[in-house]
Amino acid sequence: MDRKKLPIGISDYKLLIEEDYYYVDKTDFIRQMIEEGSLITLLPRPRRFGKTLNLSTLRYFFEKTEGNIYRPLFEEKNITQWKDFDRYQGKYPVIMITLKDCKGETFEDTLYQIKIQMQQEFE
């Protein structure tokens, strides 16, 4: 019997699914966010409680790509049961920037790390 790996420190939804890590399906939060229709959604959570993973899941759900390459990531997930799944999945350009790894000894070092993140997203 093969055991799945624990996703300790993994905050990328695609990696979690493709590498078959343990995953508790919380994709229905996407439907909830859309149906609530808030202008702003805050995700206040303590450290290491899945904020970046939730944002990564949103990215892969909404991001428009050639051939909709992220669609298979949602097979057999709760969100596919939603009547509007096809209306929203893979339909929008997405910009995702995470600053969780932008750490430096000085303000200038941290600012440089932020600059690198912005540059990578631009590319």
How does pLDDT run along the chain (123 residues), one tens digit per residue?
678 899 988 999 999 999 999 999 999 999 999 999 888 888 787 877 888 899 999 999 999 999 999 999 999 999 999 999 999 999 999 988 888 888 889 999 999 999 998 998 888
pTM: 0.83
Q: Are 88 and 62 contacting, i.e. CB atoms less than 8 angstroms apart?
A: yes
Query: What is residue 50's predicted lDDT score, i.e. its pLDDT?
Result: 84
Query: What is residue 123's predicted lDDT score, i.e. its pLDDT?
Result: 84
Q: Are 56 and 11 contacting, i.e. CB atoms less than 8 angstroms apart?
A: yes
Distance CA 73, CA 53 (A): 14
Q: Are 60 and 73 contacting, i.e. CB atoms less than 8 angstroms apart?
A: yes
Query: What is residue 1's predicted lDDT score, i.e. its pLDDT?
Result: 62
Q: What contacts 98, CB < 8 A, 6 or more positions away?
A: 11, 52, 55, 117
